[in-house]
Amino acid sequence: MNRRLRDLPLNWLGLTASIGFWCLLWGGVDAKNVLGGLAVALLVFVLFPMPPTGREITVRPLALIICLGRFLADIVVSSVQVAWYAVRPGPQPPSAVIAVPLASRSDLFLTGTAMLATLIPGSVIVEAQRSTGTLFLHVIGARTAEDAERARRRVLAQERRLLRALARRDILEEAGLA
């Protein structure tokens, strides 16, 4: 327990993100939400410690801004497309389940890529195979094999942006992005 408390300063990014998510859940940033989020985050980090991941992360601010900016743009575009599918007359939109073999073998970046892909409307992860580094996504709007390939390329591009923003050099080299 003492080691967990001693290691808390090393988890500042995780604590900050947890507090941010807590504030989003409660709909605003005020003293009560920030302090409540801090209390919950500290409790979770002490009682349920994560394995160390800091050895895989090197933050590159410009690449991170590009990654987040493109992610937000993808959310907007996909939201409009899904909204159109919801209100347009006609049959259900075509969909497909696609396999996306990722370049990185890191569990952290497999999870991060899966989270980003799922947060974009119109796609959801149905399976992640850790052993092969493959994500299986259900995507809306895949009429043809070219549409499915375009969706696969979007996920791979998202993974590349995430790796360039956060991965250590050796992980980039393993993924062929150095």
3-state secondary structure 2-71: HHHHHHHHHHHHHHHHHHHHHHHHHCCCCHHHHHHHHHHHHHHHHHCCCCCCHHHECCCHHHHHHHHHHH
Q: What is the pLDDT of residue 53?
A: 60
Per-residue model confidence (pLDDT) at position 44:
83
Longest CA span, the chain: 61
Taking CA atoms, 30 is separated from 16, 37, 97, in Å, by: 15, 11, 42
Give the pLDDT confidence score for residue 113 in this predicted structure.
Answer: 95
Q: What is the pLDDT of residue 6?
A: 57
Which positions of the chain have pLDDT values less than 70? 1-11, 50-54
Mean predicted lDDT score pLDDT of the chain:
88
Length of the chain: 178
pLDDT for 49 equals 72
Sign of the C-alpha dihedral computed for residues 49, 53, 116 and 59 taken in this order: positive
pLDDT (0 to 100) of residue 14: 74
pLDDT of residue 61: 94
Apex 43 CA angle, 52 and 53, nearest 5: 10
Of the candidates 102, 93, 98, 92, the one whose C-alpha atom is nearest the C-alpha of residue 145 is 98
Q: Which pLDDT does position 7 carry in this prediction?
A: 59
Q: What value does the CA radius of gyration of the chain take, rounded to a whole number of Å?
A: 19
| 109-132 pLDDT, tens digit each | 999 999 999 988 899 999 999 999
